[in-house]
Amino acid sequence: QQQVKQSPQSLIVQKGGISIINCAYENTAFDYFPWYQQFPGKGPALLIAIRPDVSEKKEGRFTISFNKSAKQFSLHIMDSQPGDSATYFCAAWPAWGGADGLTFGKGTHLIIHP
């Protein structure tokens, strides 16, 4: 059972545009939601994370929007740049129960066209 569903699988955006990646979850015990960026041949690197007590968090060009009632969260990349081309993973961690590791989505392959 996939606990974190991520979409789209791939995304092409023009330089300067807004990239939007969505995730949905079912486990109400999840209380920490990070986004990771991964370049080919590298390990995932934390971009930004949110907890469900806030609806939005912004760091530079990256914003997480969180909808607790819908159990959905999304990553917005403003003014997308070619250097943002990478695979993005949403993830979740429960406050209690379940495994002690992150549950990841399947990833979104983002391409920014110059």
Partner 1 sequence: GAGVSQSPRYKVAKRGQDVALRCDPISGHVSLFWYQQALGQGPEFLTYFQNEAQLDKSGLPSDRFFAERPEGSVSTLKIQRTQQEDSAVYLCASSFRTPRGTEAFFGQGTRLTVV
Q: Compute CA 5 distance to the chain's CA centroid, rounded to the nearest angstrom.
A: 10
Which residue, 80 or 108, has its beta carbon nearer to partner 1?
A: 108
> Which residues of this chain interact with partner 1, rule CB under 8 A?
6, 31-32, 34, 36, 41-46, 49, 51, 89, 91, 93-95, 99-107
To partner 1, the closest distance from the beta carbon of 5 in angstroms equals 11
Which residue, 41 or 114, has its beta carbon nearer to partner 1?
A: 41
Q: For residues 109, 59, 80 and 105, what is the CA-based torsion angle, rounded to 10 degrees?
A: 10
To partner 1, the closest distance from the beta carbon of 109 in angstroms equals 9
To partner 1, the closest distance from the beta carbon of 52 in angstroms equals 11
> Do 28 and 51 touch, CB atoms closer than 8 A?
no
- With tokens 């961690």, the residue in question is 93
> Six-digit token pair at 53?
């007590």
- How far is the C-alpha of 62 from the C-alpha of 19, rounded, in Å? 10
Find, among 63, 65, 69, the residue nearest to 55 by Cα: 65
Which residue, 18 or 54, has its beta carbon nearer to partner 1?
A: 54
Which residue, 17 or 85, has its beta carbon nearer to partner 1?
A: 85
To partner 1, the closest distance from the beta carbon of 79 in angstroms equals 25
- With tokens 């989505």, the residue in question is 105
